[in-house]
Structure 1
């Protein structure tokens, strides 16, 4: 329930988060688990979710940017508590700060290795490096024709005491599309990349390929470590295969607001910008004081569902920056009535997956985009949250 006077709130069920991690761990008994907390833990709050993951026995955290990694270290997560892997670097990045903070660093090309080694020489801190192979995604990672040179250069630096190659990894393009031909092709390409590196003398601590969908569907891709992002937050990365409950998962985030106004209007009345919605007859409208500045997609206009007083309603007209309208069909709930945009679905409410379908996107985007001016309230903490 929203506190009195509160406009909107995202509630984060940390007990559900721990339950999801336990369910995922059951699927990967032969591999370690990485909790991916990039993008503020997919909108759920990086530090609270990281602490709960560590309390649940997870030893690896994954982030995209060095700033995310450094923020976790600055918040008190020490190297002896968790390895933090950071994989999205740009020239001139904070290599030295990351080395001093004990951050594991992904390297995808010679330029990155050169900049990293320059920082190692300045700081005197040897690097922990994960070499990334592009096995077919076409984003980060070394192409097969560049892989031998990158591996050999890293091994020369390792022999000089400048770094240790602790990881070899890649990322799937379509693990969320069972049967896609790229899946087997990438597994084969990764096996080839591993074979070269290991013949050359790399003895990695971890080999990792599996993201959330591969964790759920491709046990042969688990290797030594799986990187769980969306599934950790209780959303299905493969909704065409199964809902969260089918995998033992429970959505962690719920988003609520309050009705700021309820009013009667005549038929033929335009609603919101552009009058893309016009009332069919006399009705009541409810004003929901949350909009695209809070992360409600503008693509939700006229399509996305909410639950008010136990009934599903649809966004009427365009979502504005700070508010949107629903047609209440003549019902007159009181001003201040709770509006449940999405939750875990257990009370019949819409889910983030419902919102993703309505907006022509994926549930990842729905939860990740919820903005900073929506307060987060954490429920079910284990005591790790400090």
Structure 2
């Protein structure tokens, strides 16, 4: 990892075949824009390697910018942040995706907040508390309608009661009550109000029984942007933190004061002239319509370029848009340059902020029939990240 004290998206590093530039200045701006929308505290969600942007650099930048909560899915993600030096007094870290036999003891010793959705998880946590002597900080999660993780309403009273008994013994502290939306990105969807009401009911029951949480939290990125009534004490922006719109049919990143953080660039590995009727890539799902030039881009689905981008994915070369021609292969894909002859080594901008007219991650999502979330998150470890625009976070 390299970090430059500049802003914007720089030219591709000399000699590399592909690179993801991560603009930490944009990350800070996005956090500030999100913070201006709410009186609640921010949790910077850095799960899945910060949506492909790099968990540790992004977490450090967020903490340096004043964010005091970090969100992870797996305990391994949370433990890695603590091992890298992000201390409890700098930021609380919440981990919410546990499985039986998980590293409860390590999480306790590392002062990681844990989410509990059922009695099995509470029982395993309590066993680890007794083993380590370290009390647990617990967020009880209610299933208010997503139907994924979280405690169902008919089991909620029992879970709350069991947690309060453990709290009375000094084994845990219930510091959070939370849930997650199913369709906050679809304003007016009937499930939104059902979940708002369900969460209010779950919180009311828990507080009536004696729970005094530090934070109640429900809002994800779209709810942070569109549902102020869901903000409570803490909001959990994920995608929006990285400058992508979770509601592209309602507003672009710029409409919400956001700027995409990741730009993905490669270099042309070959440019050649071919005749009309020439098949391109596996299966010949593209055939040149006439004499043309083909450009070889040395990234493929092993690097996270969706195979579904075959014949659809957009790129910008020498200021012009071109489309993937034929199948995306494991390590490479081809574009039909339409007779243009850029030099070998010319930059191929797959996606970026759009400020230079290049495609965005949202353009790739639409081309592949998926979400911008998937496009950035799937960019693999074979593609080096270069961090630009760093603030004080690099020194944490």
Q: Give the Å deviation of 1:107.
A: 0.1
Cα distance in 2 for residues equivalent to 1:378 and 1:142:
40
User: TM-score w.r.t. structure 2 length?
Assistant: 0.97
SS of residue matched to 1:186: helix
Unaligned runs of 5+ in 1: none
Identify the residue that residue 183 of structure 2 maps to in structure 1: 174
Q: Secondary structure at the match of 1:3?
A: coil
Structure of greater relative contact order (alpha carbons < 8 Å, 6+ residues apart):
2
User: Match for residue 12 of structure 2?
Assistant: 2
Aligned to 2:26: 16
Partner of 1:128: 137
Give the corresponding residue for 2:92: 83
Q: Name 2:6's counterpart in structure 1.
A: none
Distance 1:171 1:342 in 2: 30
**1:223-242 correspondence to structure 2 within 5 Å:** 223-242=232-251
TM-score scaled by structure 1?
0.99
> In structure 1, how many angstroms separate the alpha carbons of the residues matched to 2:119 and 2:22?
41
Distance in 2 (CA, whole Å) between partners of 1:358 and 1:178 is 24
RMSD of Structure 2 on Structure 1 (CA): 0.4
Distance in 2 (alpha carbons) for counterparts of 1:385 and 1:46: 13
1:272 Cα deviation from its structure 2 partner: 0.1
Q: How many residues align?
A: 385
1:348 aligns with 2:357: yes
Q: Report deviation, 1:383.
A: 2.9
Deviation readout 1:364-383 (Å, 9 max, x if unpaired):
00000000010000000003
**Residue aligning to 1:27:** 37
For the 8 Å contact 2:26–2:259, the answer to whether it is kept is yes
Residues in 2 aligned to 1:20 and 1:4: alpha-carbon distance in whole angstroms: 29
Partner of 1:108: 117
Q: Distance in 1 between matches of 2:350 and 2:121?
A: 43
- Superposition pairs of residues 265-344 of structure 1, within 5 angstroms: 265-344=274-353
Q: Which residue matches 1:151?
A: 160
Deviation digits for residues 285-305 of structure 1, max 9, x if unmatched?
000000000000000000010
* Structure 2 CA distance for aligned equivalents of residues 11 and 138 of structure 1: 36
Partner of 1:195: 204
1:27 aligns to what SS in structure 2? coil
Structure-2 separation of matches of 1:83 and 1:72 = 11
| 1:51 correspondence with 2:60 | yes
